[in-house]
Amino acid sequence: MPHIFAALVNLNHPGHYVHWGFIQMSVANLLVIGLMLLVFVLALVLPFPHGRAAARERAARPEASAVDERPEAGTAP
């Protein structure tokens, strides 16, 4: 039963490191940086839910879009 909850990767050993000259970085940190880059790219290219639909709706109702698109409304950070 305990093996079901075990980590997918065996972490019970000293960390692995990569070296470029004087630069040394753990493989774990390198993986996290790679994951951050991947998420960053995905955030740029993946469509936002309802974003296109809302755009089509605003295009169909130009009088409403004049209000909805005002950028002076504060936004979530």
Residues that bind another protein (CB under 8 A): 32, 35-36, 39-40, 42-44, 46, 48, 50-51, 54-55, 58-59, 62, 65-66, 68-77
Cα dihedral sign, 63-64-70-72: positive
CA 2-5-10 angle, to 5 degrees, is 95
Our CB check for another protein shows the closer of 21 and 49 to be 49
25, 18 Cβ separation under 8 angstroms: yes
